Structure formats: structure tokens, C-alpha cells
Amino acid sequence: MELIKTPIQDLYILKPRVFEDARGFFCETYNEKTFQDLGLNIRFCQDNQSKSSYGVIRGLHYQLAPHSQAKLVSVLQGRVWDVAVDLRNASPSFGQHFAVELSAENHLQLLIPKGFAHGFAVLSETALFSYKCDALYHPAAERGIMYNDPHLNIDWRIPAEAVSVSPKDSKHPLFVEAEMNF
């Protein structure tokens, strides 16, 4: 597995080794020892999946400390534009975001540390999205930031008229009004 640094400290792209032939492919997407060898001491305790159609934007989501979650995200079918926003007050990249296309074809994964908001936009007809979390979901700690916040200026790669957002996600506060404790 290859660890690829992003411009934001502690936010990594992971590229697994993929073995392909006429029958299909095989790749190892997570191995605790491999992660430790890469200096990533994260233990996951919850796996989630979502299926969405073109234009769906999910996010930007996070959980307040002490219930914050690190996430390892990937796409099992389709393509998404995946976005992580640094919410760590002391970070030089506080308020900045990084985005990458994750797809079933490129097998890339994004490792999002605690202290980040996360969201994605579906670029394909449908997408099956998978994420591992290092802490359990804690509803009382759940928070969000408005996906189209002008301060963040995220290009979701979806035309405005094609965007589909849940009623819950459409009510998130702007970045400057969001509760953060990282």
C-alpha cells in the first residue's frame, strides 16, 4: 500500500496494490499491521456504506470531540468527489479543504483524521460509498457545515441545478457559525 501525502498535514491518500487479470481484481484495502508500518496507528470499530445517485452531496459531517472520528473512505461502485475540511484550530490549514476523486476504478482511499469535516458528491449515475470509522457514531456529538458555504468555496463538480441534498444537510450552519472543538 502506498501512502500519498496531501497538502494538508495528517490527511492522506492511500493507494492499495491491485492485482488484475482477465477474471477481475484483488486488493487489500486495510491491514492493521500495514497501517502501523506506515505510522498510522488507527483502529477501526465501525464500517458504514451508503448508496447515492448522481448529484447527491452528503456532508459536510463531523462529530465533536471526544467523539470525533477518523475515517478511511473509498468507493466500491461509481465515482465521487470526496472533500475533507480541516477544523483543527491550531492547524496552519484551518478552514482549508482538500478534494480527490475516488472511484471503483482507481481504488484510491482517503484517510481523514479526527478534526475534519467530510462530504462527497456523486459524479456517476450511482455510487456505493464505504467508510471505516475509529469511533462509534454518537448522535449528540454530530455536527455539520453547509456544503455550499462561500467561505469554503468548494467546487463539488456538480451543476447547481443537479445538486440533491438531504433536508438535514440543507440546514447546517456556515463555517463561521459552526461549533468546533478540535
**Catalytic (active site) residue 61:** yes
Selected catalytic residue, list 12, 62, 131, 147:
131
Spatial distance between the Cα atoms of 127 and 121, rounded to a whole number of angstroms? 9
**Catalytic (active site) residue 62:** no
- Report yes or no: 13 and 107 within 8 Å, Cβ to Cβ: no
Selected catalytic residue, list 61, 97, 107, 118:
61
Spatial distance between the Cα atoms of 121 and 151, rounded to a whole number of angstroms? 18
- Report yes or no: 63 and 69 within 8 Å, Cβ to Cβ: yes
| Cα-Cα-Cα-Cα dihedral sign, residues 43, 45, 47, 48 | negative
Question: What are the residue numbers of the active site?
Answer: 61, 131
